[in-house]
Structure 1
Amino acid sequence: MQTRPLGTGGPQVPPLALGCAGMSDHTSPADEADAIATIHAALDAGVTLLDTADFYGMGHNEDLIRRALRTGGRERALLSVKFGGLRGPDGSFVGIEGRPAHVKNALAYSLRRLGTDHVDIYRSARLDPDTPVEDTIGAVSELVQAGYVRHIGLSEVGPETIRRAHAVHPICDVQVEYSLFSRDPEANGILATCRELGIGVTAYGILAHGLLSGSYRRPAGGDPRARWLPRFHPDNLATNLTLVERLRPLADARGISVAQLATAWVIARSRGCGTVVAVLGTRRPQRVAEALAAADVTLSDADLRTIDEAVPADAVAGTRYAAPLMTLLDSERGPNPAVGARS
């Protein structure tokens, strides 16, 4: 696949990345053979950027990736690793940690589980409200100087935090939820700030947790995800599925699926927003092939306008997470966030 730099000084990456979280979902574990086959299929196709976190499956995901890369795969893979999500024995999330000591301790364990001497991109999963971002990035910068980390990334942070972090050490990319159903990075200045500073964007949730797959079916008794994903709540779901159906004739006209159209839309945003990489979250090899076809779809400016008219940014019903989870997102706070600031 054709590659391009992720940010001004970042690694060369294809327009697609593989998100590995679902391979270690503690509520519905993936078949391990399928998961490893998916990683191999991605690497064989040139999808080299693998996204993981030390808290995915409480370390299981990193162990899984190590096994997948055991036979010569590490040289082909770029490992993007998140830290900072604290979990209890029952799998619940219990906090965010960004203190320098934790940063270094977390990386030590990640390197052991991944079976490598370095990670290519290291980032905090969320902004720690009790630790200045300068301290967190400073600790990762020390790990860069020591050779354990190649590049520094950010995740779900707003423009002011991006600028403060970038002033400490060049930032490679910002990971943020971005799709036809999640357009806030356009409105709140995240994309503009990244473009100005030469920072890439890795967009996750490109299919809106399955709503934009074009094949969503309501489970009998309701979707349990509605508790933390309001767009699946019955009050919002009908509206959102109607929006998805507006995309179907546009996809049919191109001989592709709704999911491929939604993926191609994310990839096409690089034209106006710098480098945008679409993170494909899957645990099935066949999905990799489908996404690769989406990367070959060329959408003109007229096509993008037609898609935007079919699914206006303000037409989606419901916030992307329930209120308690939204409070953890620095990316949703607007300008000049107080959290993580120096006193």
Structure 2
Amino acid sequence: MEKNNQITGLLAQNPQGLTRRDFLVTTALVGAGLAVGPLLGVASAEKIENRSGNGLHKGGNTMKTRRLGKLEVSAIGAGCMSISANYGPPADRKQGIKVIRTAYEKGVTFFDTAEVYGPYTNEGLVGEALAPFRDKVVVATKFGFDLVAGGLNSRPEHIRKVVEESLKRLKTDRIDLYYQHRVDPKVPIEDVAGVIKDLIKQGKVLHFGLSEASAKTIRRAHSVHPVSAVQTEYSLMERDPERNGVLKTCDELGIGFVPWGPVGMGYLTGKIDSRTKLDPKTDLRSGFDRFTPVNIKANMPIVDFLKIFAEKKNATPAQISLAWLLAQKPWIVPIPGTRNMDHLNENLGAINVQLTPADLREIETALSKIKVYGGRMGEIYMRDVDQSK
């Protein structure tokens, strides 16, 4: 009955109609949310030098590193999802490969994908793009959806099956970081952690991650096998991890935090306004409350503030948004996603934007007076987010 209700809700938002298989895939994609980002620990003194010239912010990019558990990665990573799916039609494959390889040339060593992106096609793209320098990068992907039957599936036998499929698509013999994409309420998290522990012993997986997990679930999983990173939406517009205990738990347990949607799924770039049209067939955001024309217009004060503040810092709104995340904790690393080379350069330029304590206070004071309109995702999409207490 629950699945039927979800189907009814989705069809209501997609009156053009879907085949059964298209719908099941869409359901999985919707549940997947839209992932983006990674990390943990005290920043390393080591730096990855930019090999491809200057970023948009003055000074060029000198990419620093941070730690996700014992895994060292670039302080800003690359979310690869939007190249293939969920934010519009797929980009040209050659363009996608060029963006990923350029990110590497500019110092990015962390790349985030998932089997559900496409589905499947994004893993294949990432595998091809990173093949020439596979041993010099960290690849993260995710499991947890049944793309044939629909819905969540983290049963041990399913995990063992899909990890082999992801390895083939990624053209690799190990997955550096393997996330459970959504917590499956039908499978004890201890069982999931146990399977990942076995895969780590086999060398097929190197590190364990959770996505959209509650503080309680994180603790339970961590008691079986150390969790390296937790991935959840977090940005200047979406502050739930500060309130629900997830950031606090990561801090206590030494777990890295992976903000997806670090620029508000595009909101905080300053390039979205009430005239923006999102295609309901290819863009998941079209079904999110925050992206209705009414709520976009209502949320413009946030964007307007960022534009004014960014000008004072000789930066862009997106760069301020990313720099703000970097300034929150030394174990937070965003993975903004893009298929656009200019946007890639802009995002990576955030590494050089230094926010002082006074800057952070100014941002906090200003935004505390501005209401955010619309939930982070529609109700139907939030059902797969673990909110157990």
TM-score normalised by L of structure 2: 0.79
Asked if residue 20 in structure 1 is aligned to residue 75 in structure 2, the reply is: no
| Partners of 2:111 and 2:139 within 8 A in 1 | yes
- The separation in 2 between residues aligned to 1:161 and 1:115, in whole angstroms, is 31
How many angstroms apart in 2 are the aligned matches of 1:61 and 1:11? 23
Matches within 5 A, 1:233-248: 233-248=292-307
**1:314 CA displacement:** 7.1
Residue equivalent to 1:286: 342
Instruction: Map 1:169-184 onto structure 2 (within 5 A).
Output: 169-184=225-240
Counterpart residue number, 1:194: 250
CA 1:120–1:226: 2 relative to 1, 3 Å: closer
Distance 1:319 1:94 in 2: 25
Residue 175 of structure 1 aligns to a residue whose secondary structure is: strand
2:64 alignment counterpart: 2
2:141 maps to amino acid: V
Partner of 2:118, secondary structure, is helix
Q: Which residue of 2 aligns with 1:340?
A: none
- Cα distance change of structure 1 residues 116 and 220 upon mapping to structure 2, 3 Å threshold: closer
- 1:180 CA drift (Å): 0.4
Map 1:75-94 to 2 at 5 A. Answer: 75-87=135-147, 94=150
Which residue number in structure 1 is paired with residue 262 of structure 2? 206
Give, as a single letter, the amino acid of the residue that structure 2 aligns with 1:293: G
SS in 1 for 2:216: helix
Q: For this pair of structures, how many residues does the alignment match?
A: 323
Structure 2 counterparts to residues 302-313 of structure 1, below 5 A = 302-312=358-368
Alignment partner of 1:46 out of 87, 107, 110: 107
C-alpha separation between the residues in 1 aligned to 2:116 and 2:217?
23
Query: Aligned ranges for residues 159-170 of structure 1 at < 5 Å?
Result: 159-170=215-226
Q: What letter corresponds to residue 55 of structure 1 in structure 2?
A: V
Give identity over the alignment, percent. 39
Q: Is residue 34–residue 285 contact of structure 1 (8 Å, CA) maintained in 2?
A: no
TM-superposed CA distance for 1:142, in Å, is: 0.3
Q: 1:148-200 CA deviation, whole Å, 9 max, x = no partner?
A: 11110110001000000000000101001000011000011100000000000
CA 1:83 to 1:263, structure 2 compared with 1: closer, same or farther past 3 Å?
same
Aligned counterpart in structure 1 of residue 169 of structure 2, from 113, 118, 135: 113
Is contact 1:180-1:313 (8 Å) kept? Answer: no
Matched residue SS, 2:300: helix
Which aligned pairs between 1:61-80 and structure 2 lie closer than 5 A?
61-70=122-131, 72-80=132-140
Contact 2:262 2:335 in 1 (8 A): yes
Q: Separation in 1 of the partners of 2:369 and 2:173?
A: 43
Residue in structure 2 matched with residue 129 of structure 1 by the alignment: 185
Read off the aligned partner of 1:178 and give its amino acid letter: Y
Instruction: Give the SS at the match of 1:281.
Output: coil
Aligned amino acid, residue 164 of structure 2: A
| Root-mean-square deviation (Å) | 1.8
Q: 1:122 is paired with a residue of what secondary structure? A: strand
Q: Any idea what SS the aligned residue of 1:137 has?
A: helix
Gaps (5+ residues) in structure 2?
1-62
* SS of equivalent residue, structure 1 residue 206: coil
- Partner of residue 8, structure 2: none
Contact residue 66 and residue 73 of structure 2 kept, 8 A: yes
More moved, 211-220 vs 253-262: 211-220
Conserved 8 A contact 1:223-1:232? no
Cα offsets for 1:237-283 (capped at 9, x unmatched): 2221122101111100011111111111111111xxx4001111111
Q: Distance in 2 between matches of 1:128 and 1:25?
A: 23
Deviation at 1:85, TM superposition (A): 2.3
Q: 1:105 to 1:147 in 2, by over 3 A?
A: same
Distance across 2 between alignment mates of 1:195 and 1:313: 28
In the aligned structure 2, how far is the partner of 1:29 from the partner of 1:249? 33
Inter-partner Cα distance in structure 2 for 1:211 and 1:80:
25
Amino acid at match of 2:297: A
Amino acid at match of 1:58: P
